[in-house]
Chains A and B, each alone.
Chain A
């Protein structure tokens, strides 16, 4: 664990000096402040924020994660020539990338919410839920990026796959669900739709967010089915559990690949 901690600390230091991370945090701060200022802290502002988070966090996690790993390849080689286990290096690198990205997002949202605290309905719950969902998505998609960058040697191909995964998870998947619902509209679809929702981390995060804010009318088909089927709290619990699986599986796959990968 000591080695992991050292790698984590060094990577955090490296990332916090990158302008990019500051821009990322500033973007969320400006966006949240703008939405809260013009939306008056109501549900419309919260929904807009949720939509941006659900789209942008997977994109940044995937692209930044793959880019960082490809760019660090030579340095990883140097680190692996030290008496360091691959497992410790993988853990340190993952945490060192996912935590600063999560922190940048959290700070970006936290500061404006604190500024507009009194104007926001149920500000504490809003802050907790949005930050938890954003951090969970960051952790999941950086883990997916680690699988892509460790499996695909070619940088251009790896980045293309990352973009395709993002497009699939944020746009195409919803289209697929709507298509299924349309084509099989005469059949009972609750269970298949629930399964489909569990298979996409973005849908899971959306469900958690919308169930939490009790805006079932706006939560789309999967969210509505989730609430009807499980009720709010069981729904949130189940989606959170499924998100944990979504975090664990790519991490295990990424580590397995990293341990045998040729550098």
Chain B
């Protein structure tokens, strides 16, 4: 589904991604993990075309992302921070995005119903809480029936009930054949959702495999411990 080859990206003198290569398999949930400033968000931004790599190539569904922006039709994205125009209502923002995507879509509004936020959709976004905005952002990611979901720390601002519903929806999406890339610092969530784990450190892939393989390699029984051990190994 996604192929990343020899990706390099610097911001000024700071090298963020170094010769990073990665494959994301269709129909799986891949968690991109790593300490702060490991390059997780930059990798996601390169896949989305929000940041331009210095060198290397990325293709999504066989399309080179540097050449044609329309590959994003198949992507639903939930950013780390849910920021919307304050004077508009959520319904207006959703309609706006629908207009941008042009007609001919069936819209998936399951999450809007599951989160029970339909009554909030007509309120100005400035009056909504951070959690409600996060729910709107999550619902938007699913809205256009994507084949690929990119979720950057998706449950960070959600209450346990909403977080649980959201995770159920992600698993449903995967069982329907969808592909997911997510970043998270919540290891229980990664354990619950991820089929594949990619551990980044200083812009390089330090580990790639199944969560079970990561636990076995580090000799621990919990993913959180495995990650902590991996971090220590890398520091040494």
Q: Say whether A associates with B.
A: yes
Categorize the interface residue count of chain A: 20 to 34
In the assembled complex, the Cα of A61 lies from the Cα of B83 at a distance in Å of 24
Given contacts A6-B99, A74-B79, contact A80 B88 (CB under 8 A): no
Pairs across A and B, CB under 8 Å, 18 listed: A6-B96, A6-B99, A10-B92, A10-B99, A14-B88, A72-B85, A74-B79, A74-B81, A74-B83, A77-B50, A78-B79, A78-B83, A78-B84, A78-B140, A80-B48, A83-B101, A85-B69, A263-B45
Assess whether A84 is interfacial by the CB under 8 Å rule: yes
State the main secondary structure of chain A at its contact with B: helix
Q: Which of B50, B69, B87, B150 contacts A18 (CB 8 A)?
A: B87
A82-B51 in contact given A6-B99, A18-B87 (Cβ < 8 Å)? no
Instruction: Compute how far the CA of A23 lies from the CA of B70 in the bound complex, rounded to whole angstroms.
Output: 40
CB <8 Å contact, B49 and A80: yes
A195 interface residue (CB < 8 Å to B): no
* Among A75, A80, A84, contact of B85 (Cβ-Cβ < 8 Å): A75
- A6 and B49 alpha carbons, distance in the complex (Å): 21
Q: How far is the CB of A1 from chain B (nearest CB, A)?
A: 13
The yes or no answer to A167 lying at the interface (CB within 8 A) is: no
Among B45, B75, B77, B85, point to the contact of A262 (Cβ < 8 A).
B45
| A10 lies within 8 A of B11 (CB) | no
Q: Given the complex, which residues of A lie within 8 Å of B71, measured CB to CB?
A: 83
What sequence of 0s and 1s flags, for each residue 1-19 of chain A, a beta carbon within 8 Å of any chain B beta carbon? 0110011001001110110
- A17-B99 Cα distance, complex, nearest whole Å: 20
**Knowing A10-B96, A17-B88, A83-B70 touch, does A78 contact B45 (C-beta < 8 A)?**
no
- Cα-based distance from A262 to B150 in the complex (angstroms): 18
Which residues in window 75-101 of A have CB below 8 A to B? 75, 77-86
User: Are B72 and A81 closer than 8 Å at their CB atoms?
Assistant: yes
B36 → A minimal CB distance (Å): 19
Q: Is A217 an interface residue (CB 8 A)?
A: no
In the complex the two chains form, is B50's CB within 8 Å of A82's CB?
Answer: no
B72 touches A77 (CB 8 A): no
B residues at A contact (CB < 8 Å): 11, 45, 48-52, 69-73, 75, 77, 79, 81, 83-85, 87-88, 92, 96-97, 99-102, 140, 150
Q: Which residues of A contact B49 (CB under 8 A)?
A: 80-81
**Closest Cβ–Cβ distance, residue B146 to chain A (whole Å):** 11
Given contact pairs A6-B100, A84-B69, enumerate 13 new A-B contacts (beta carbons under 8 Å). Answer: A7-B100, A13-B87, A13-B92, A77-B79, A78-B77, A78-B79, A78-B83, A78-B84, A81-B49, A82-B100, A83-B73, A84-B72, A262-B51
Instruction: Let me know if A218 is at the binding interface, CB within 8 A.
Output: no
Please name all residues of chain A whose beta carbon is closer than 8 Å to the beta carbon of B84 when the two chains form the complex. Answer: 75, 78
- A-B interface, 7 closest residue pairs, ranked by CB to CB distance from nearest: A74-B83, A17-B87, A81-B77, A262-B51, A263-B50, A83-B72, A83-B73
Query: What residue of chain A has the Cβ atom nearest to residue B12's Cβ?
Result: A153
In the complex, residue of chain A having the shortest beta-carbon distance to the beta carbon of B11: A262
Indicate whether A183 reaches chain B with its CB closer than 8 angstroms: no
Question: Contact: B88 with A10, CB < 8 Å?
Answer: yes
Contact indicator B48/A81 (Cβ below 8 Å): yes
In the complex, the answer to whether B100 meets A79 with C-beta atoms within 8 Å is yes
Given known pairs A77-B79, A81-B72, the reply for A13 and B88 (CB within 8 Å) is yes
Q: Which residues of B contact A15 (CB under 8 A)?
A: 87
